[in-house]
Amino acid sequence: MNTNNKKIALFPLVMLALGSLIGSGWLFGSWEATKIAGPAAIISWIIGGLIIGAIAYDYVEIGAMFPESGGMSKYAQYSHGSLLGFIAAWANWVSLITLIPIEAVAAVQYMSSWPWSWAKWTHHFLSGGVITTSGLFVVFGFIIVFTLLNFWSVKILTHFTSLISVFKIGVPLLTILLLTMSGFHPGNYGTSWHQFMPYGSAPIFTATSAAGIIFSFDAFQTVINMGSEITNPRKNIGRGITISLLISGIIYIILQSTFITAMPPAMIAKYGWHGITFNSPFADMAILLGIHWLSVLLYMDAFVSPFGTGVSFVASTARALFAMEGNHHIPRFIGKINPKYGIPRAAMLVDTVLSMVMVSVFRSWAVLATVLSTATLIAYLTGPVTAMSLRKMGPKLHRPVRLKRLPWIAPISFVLASLATYWAMWPTTVQVILVILLGLPFYFYYEWKNGFVATRKAFKASLWMIGYLIFISIMSYIGSKQFNGQNWIPYPLDFVVIILASLGFYYWGIKSYVVTADYYKAEELNKSVAGEDPED
């Protein structure tokens, strides 16, 4: 897709991933999680990191086997045919076109609380946590700029994100240092389990999906989707994911702890963790502690952090849509590559328009974060199944990275992704599943156009996923009241049911693999990485 001189080395790859990972999640996640779970929110970040880390592990082996742009949108099709491939690709794409506007919304929300007299005009951008019509046009402006910075070349993209990522890492670290020096109250964690978990244990899990934590860690797929544009993908795909997730995970956990310990105890005693209301959480905290110059820096970073993530994900989203066209289930013009710059410009423009539509419908950061997390998790459910299915159906495929722990990490990651989908709570889970199902008319139209070749075979291979989506929808409704269900299955028995059922669907999925023309294409692609020695 690109010439060698445009390929991305390990350092700019890590910077690109960090530019995606450290976005609006750090600006809002700690506050949202603390509101839900109190001091126990720190456990939510650890759980979120473990879930995404386990899922990412599955994709390292597949990504090294098939280094291609937009790969996350193709892998399921290689192992289970066109229908599962379409469901996974569509779910992943829905999450990506949600991510671009959520970063723009974050920047505009911080703008709306600028404290200076000359900036009063920005206060109309937000009302009751929802972007207003005037704010929406500013969001559109951000989305257009994100796109333009990707429109000419990968080289411009990596130079921009490497520079911006240094700033994005530095500001959270400075915030941790200054807030800790200005207000450090470790007693805020409490001296008993009740004080540490004031609202019980269930909100710890709720916060993982509903406070933007899964969303904050999700950007590891930036590395996977760059695929063939990475130098030495055999080594650098795994390294890029591991390094970027570790750095961002450490920063997020320390930030959460800083937010908890910097809060004035008198304020917690008066309002409780539920009652703490901020429009611009860390900037408001800096003003509260009298560090006004830090608040100015944070207002600046509220542009930079979401900006870097938005820019990075315009690239990933375009590659995901480009890959979907390669699966022959969306219009052909979307898959055209610009011959000069080697990027899918048409896909980029389509994503820009649909991102604007998405934010016009969902104007709240919290709602966008929950929708995004759920769609992402549904897409990721295919990863562990595909990784293990390829072990069975293609034992002779070349594996530059052969993961020794995959046979037991794959089912664990499937179960964790299932639980996190459930934690998004009724009715969000069902709403996102319905959005994903909206793509099926495209699938069946193109299947009809192509003469329904192997459609029945693909449907049979996808029955496990269809059954799973029905199961998780029902569980969301009849599950415990802590997750907004009818409490027919109380907490924590609902977790036991989901774990056991998920393992059943996982093993059904592995047994459902099918050899199609797409698998033979994958074999041809795999030959391009042959000749390398496998490593763990």
Alpha-helix runs per DSSP H in 327-396: 345-361, 365-380, 382-393
Token representation of residue 132? 């207003």
Token representation of residue 514? 């099918």
The pLDDT of residue 157 is 54
Mutual angle of helices 406-423 and 463-478, in 10-degree steps: 40
How far does Cα 74 stand from its chain's mean position? Answer: 17
| Torsional class of 453: left (φ above 0), alpha (ψ -120 to 50), beta (otherwise) | beta
Q: Among candidates 361, 518, 394, 497, which has minimal Cα distance to 453? A: 518
The pLDDT of residue 309 is 67
Q: Are 477 and 424 in contact (CB under 8 A)?
A: no
Q: Which residues contact 426 (CB under 8 A, 6 or more apart)?
A: 476, 477, 479, 483, 484, 485
Phi and psi of 9, rounded to 5°?
Answer: -80, 175
Residue with tokens 């207000």: 183
Alpha-helix runs per DSSP H in 66-153: 75-80, 82-111, 133-148
3-state class (DSSP) for residue 145: helix
3-state class (DSSP) for residue 535: strand
**Residue 357 to residue 145: CA distance in whole angstroms:** 16
pTM summary value: 0.85
Token representation of residue 275? 């009652």
From start to end of 155-266, where are the E strands?
Answer: none
Q: Which residues contact 329 (CB under 8 A, 6 or more apart)?
A: 82, 86, 442, 443, 446, 447
Give the CA dihedral 252, 257, 259, 265, nearest 10 degrees: 170
Q: Which residues contact 167 (CB under 8 A, 6 or more apart)?
A: 301, 304
3-state class (DSSP) for residue 75: helix
Phi and psi of 230, rounded to 5°?
Answer: -100, 135
For 240, the enclosing helix (H) or strand (E) is helix 233-262
Q: Buried (b) or exposed (e) across 398-407, using 16+ Cβ within 10 A?
A: bbbbebeebe
**Residue 139 to residue 100: CA distance in whole angstroms:** 10
What residues pair up with 401 in beta bridges, in sequence order? 535
Long-range pairs of 322-325 with CB within 8 A, sequence gap ≥ 24 = 322/69, 322/70, 322/347, 323/68, 323/69, 323/70, 323/71, 323/72, 323/73, 323/74, 323/89, 323/225, 324/70, 324/73, 324/86, 324/89, 324/90, 324/93
Q: Among candidates 44, 21, 93, which has minimal Cα distance to 319? A: 93
Residue with tokens 């794409």: 93
Q: Among candidates 408, 407, 433, which has minimal Cα distance to 421? A: 433
CA angle 480, 483, 485 (to 5 degrees): 55
Q: Are 371 and 35 in contact (CB under 8 A)?
A: no
**Residue 85 to residue 82: CA distance in whole angstroms:** 5
The pLDDT of residue 1 is 42
What residues pair up with 8 in beta bridges, in sequence order? 230
Tens of each residue's pLDDT in the chain, 536 residues: 444 446 777 887 787 777 667 777 888 889 989 999 999 999 999 999 999 999 988 888 888 888 776 667 688 989 998 899 889 888 888 888 888 888 888 888 888 878 878 878 888 888 877 889 999 999 999 888 888 776 655 555 555 555 666 777 788 899 999 999 988 899 999 889 999 999 999 999 999 988 889 888 876 777 776 666 777 766 787 788 888 889 889 999 999 999 999 998 988 888 888 888 887 888 888 888 889 889 888 888 777 766 666 766 676 677 677 767 666 667 776 766 665 656 677 778 888 888 898 888 888 887 888 888 888 899 899 999 999 999 999 888 888 878 889 999 999 999 999 999 999 888 888 888 888 888 888 888 888 887 777 788 889 999 999 999 999 999 999 999 999 999 999 999 999 999 999 999 999 999 999 998 888 888 888 887 775 544 44
